[in-house]
Amino acid sequence: MPLFLGLDCSTQGLSAIVLDSDAWRRTVAFEHSLEFDREFPEYGTTHGVLRNGLEVSSPPLMWAEALERMMAIVSREAGLDIGDLRAISGSGQQHGSIYVNERAASSCQALDPRRSLAKQLDGIFSRAASPIWMDESTRDQCRAIDKALGGPEATAALTGSAATERFTGPQIRKFFETDRESYARTARIHLVSSWLASLLAGTDASIDHADGSGMNLMDIRTLAWAEAALDATAPGLGVKLPALQSSWTIAGALAPYWRERYGFPPAAVIVWSGDNPCSLIGTGLVRKGWLGVSLGTSDTVFGFSATLPTPSVGSHVFASPAGGYMALLCFRNGSLAREAVRDQYRMDWESFSRALRQTPAGNGGALMLPWFDPEVTPHAPAGVHRLNLDVADAAGNVRAVVDAQMMSMANRAERLWQPCDRVIATGGASANRDILQVMADVFGAEVYRTADANAAALGAALRAYHAYELSQGRELPWEQVVSGVTDVDERGRIAPVPANVAVYRELRKRYADFERLKSGRSGVG
Ligand code: ADP
Ligand code: XUL
């Protein structure tokens, strides 16, 4: 049976899903994850990242090593007939960038199958560390870019988002400003997605329109590089960027390195995309209607739109990898904030859940703003603020962090999307039913979880399937591509409790006031 591989290089680890496909249905034949901190301790990361104040980065070589280890596992330990692999695609954490010199292209093309990948990539980087989406150090660059483009609203109208600290353009501008020599030595700037696709195909892979939307460099209407945005970012940037192409483009065949070293066939490498765009596919949200919520390292809320939603400051509009668009909100203090509370009170996830069950919806009005790290939605410096909440009350603090996260998401989602009666939850924390009950009560909507918590890897595998079929002259409707494998289990429906919905309807207003007061901003950001 034809096989399709989806990889997901996220903040904390690399995952793989192999889909087995026949004409009627697709099933998950293999799934595996590698955690960066545990598997690659020599890189010294914590939760997959290296921190230096507001600067947050990851070592790009670690991602390459993880890619190689995963490919070895898929070929040797998955128990699959790997000769049936037809196509591979992937999902990368969005916005992160990789800077390589002019030697990179030839090194990638001539990888020696007798030597490990990482060893052969030594010396190709013009910047050792890759800034990632958690980096908050580019406020000055964002101001300068917005100013050059006519203000945040104008940047949003052009690129889909106002200049945003974690987006690639401001990160590139900072690199140019602080290390001109290394910027000049940079021949190519890749996203995590396009770089890993390049390693698989042994050629310079394009950036797909969906992940390209997270750079503040692409015109969200024409889907081409926006000259004015390039000029506002750094000189000579245009020639350093890969091409932009549709999400179903074939970057090339799997390079000889992978075929000779691991016995893979010359499967098609489909351009990779960002993790949120891939999650849109992996949650089956290829048509307008329901909302997706991913509870991963970051929490995100997203939804499909056939027409261009009006870009605004504080939310993001991306091209969708299924055509059309997606709107997205990103909350930086996702799992890391939940973990901070769990660890502070020496709990495990079971006792965390018990605390949720033992406390009333709305926590008797006790509130927390859980900005353990600087927050991006709303923009706020690091700081945990409590209102009517005793820090010694362990269960109350657990309820408060989850209440806060759900109210912050729901308040903003309401403005972006029409009242929505169904939410599809995915990501690591969607395994926790008690967290999802709070989600249902706060959103006032039914919550379903995806059959597979890794919607990004699943979405990547489905994209590989769709693009492969297209290359064979079969253009499948997206509903057909996602059907079956993304169907939610109706029995797992989590219904909102009407009395709790009423409590949160009131509390959400007070939460919004508290948030406005402490974030020091009048807007909703
Ligand atoms: P990534 O953004 O790296 O892809 P994942 O979607 O894999 O992240 O989610 C990983 C996170 O899921 C972990 O950091 C952990 O905090 C969270 N998680 C896993 N199991 C549970 C659980 N039972 N309850 C709450 N959170 C959980
Ligand atoms: C979205 C964002 C994060 C990353 C990592 O804008 O910054 O969700 O994609 O998951």
pLDDT, tens digit (0-9, with 9 covering 90-100), for 280-313:
999 999 877 789 999 999 999 999 999 999 988 9
Q: Alpha helix (H) ranges present in 188-346?
A: 192-201, 209-212, 227-233, 256-262, 275-282, 335-344
Same domain, 255 and 354: no
Rg over alpha carbons for the chain, rounded to the nearest Å, is 22
Question: Which of 8, 31, 297 gets mutated to test ligand 1 (max ligand atoms within 8 A of its CB)?
Answer: 297
Q: What is the number of domains present in the chain? A: 2
SS3 annotation, 88-146? EEEEECCCCEEEECCCHHHHHHCCCCCCCHHHHHCCCECCCCEECCCCCCCHHHHHHHH
**CB of 93 closer than 6 angstroms to any ligand 2 atom:** yes
Pick from 119-123, 263-267, 390-394: least confident: 119-123
Band of the pLDDT at 521, cuts 50, 70, 90? low
* pLDDT greater than 80 at residue 146: yes
- Give, using CA atoms, the residue closest to atom 23 of ligand 1: 432
The alpha carbon of 111 and the centre of ligand 2 are apart by a number of angstroms equal to: 31
pLDDT of 264 strictly over 50: yes
pLDDT band at residue 22, thresholds of 50, 70 and 90?
confident
Domain of 263? 3-277
Contact 215, 223 (CB under 8 A): no
CB-CB neighbours of 323 under 10 Å: 15
Which pairing describes strands 13-21 and 3-9: parallel, antiparallel, or unpaired? antiparallel
Q: Is 320 in the pocket of ligand 1 (CB under 6 A)?
A: no
Q: Which of 223, 252, 277 is where one domain is finished?
A: 277
Summarize pLDDT for 76-130 with one digit per residue, the tens. Answer: 998 999 999 999 999 999 999 999 999 999 999 999 999 999 999 989 999 999 9
Q: How far is the CA of 242 from the centre of ligand 1 (A)?
A: 32
Query: In which band, very low, low, confident or very high, does the pLDDT at 523 lie, cut at 50, 70 and 90?
Result: very low
pLDDT above 70 as % of the chain = 99
Dig out the tokens for 20 from the structure. 């087995």
The pLDDT score that the predictor gives to residue 524 is 38
Nearest Cα to 186, choosing from 84, 105, 261, 290? 105
Q: How confident is the model over 456-480, as a mean pLDDT?
A: 97
pLDDT at site 395: 98
Ligand 1 in reach of 297 Cβ (< 6 A): yes
- Residue 487 lies inside a defined structural domain of this protein: no
Residue 425's domain is classified under what CATH number? 3.30.420.40
* Res. 525 pLDDT band, cuts 50 70 90: very low
Question: C-alpha distances in angstroms, 236 versus 177, 213, 219, 231, 461?
Answer: 13, 20, 18, 8, 35
Closest atom of ligand 2 relative to the 133 alpha carbon = 7
Residue 401 lies in a domain: yes
Same domain, 239 and 306: no
Regarding whether 128 and 213 lie in a shared domain, the answer is yes
Cα–Cα distances (Å) from 38 to 46, 76, 232, in that order, read: 9, 21, 40
Sort 268 into a burial class: Cβ within 10 Å, 0-12 / 13-18 / 19+.
Answer: buried
Mean pLDDT (whole number) for 387-397:
98
216 and 333 in a single domain? The answer is no
pLDDT > 90 in the chain, percent? 91
Atom of ligand 1 minimally distant from the CA of 427: 6
- Cβ–ligand 2 distance for 91 under 6 Å, the answer no
Which atom belonging to ligand 1 lies closest to the Cα atom of 48? Answer: 3
Please check the confidence at residue 60 and state whether its pLDDT lies above 80.
yes
Nearest by Cα to 435 from 344, 359, 364, 365: 359
Res. 3 pLDDT band, cuts 50 70 90: very high
Single out the residue of 342, 270, 314 nearest to residue 408, CA to CA: 314
104 lines ligand 2 (CB under 6 A): no
Residues 218 and 355 in one domain: no
Ligand 1 centre and the CA of 8: distance in Å?
Answer: 14
Residue ending a domain, among 277, 306, 333, is 277
33 sits in which H/E element:
strand 26-35
Is the CB of residue 100 less than 8 Å from the CB of residue 188?
yes
Q: Of 228, 244, 277, which marks where a domain is finished?
A: 277
For residue 275 and ligand 2, the question of a CB distance below 6 A is answered with yes
Ligand nearest to the CA of 327: 2
pLDDT, tens only, 325-368: 999 999 999 999 999 999 999 999 999 999 999 999 999 999 99
Q: Look at residue 266 and tell me whether its pLDDT is greater than 90.
A: yes
Co-location of 321 and 251 in the same domain: no
Residue 463's SS3 state is helix
Pick the residue whose CA is nearest to atom 8 on ligand 2.
Answer: 298
In ligand 2, the atom with minimum distance to the C-alpha of 214 is 6
For residues 251 and 321, state if they share a domain.
Answer: no
Task: Give the pLDDT confidence score for residue 288 in this predicted structure.
Answer: 76
Secondary structure element (H or E) that encloses residue 169, with its range:
helix 168-178
Mean pLDDT for all residues in the chain: 95
CA nearest 243: which of 269, 218, 268, 220?
218
> pLDDT grade, residue 490 (50/70/90)?
confident
pLDDT at 454 over 60: yes
pTM, two decimal places: 0.96
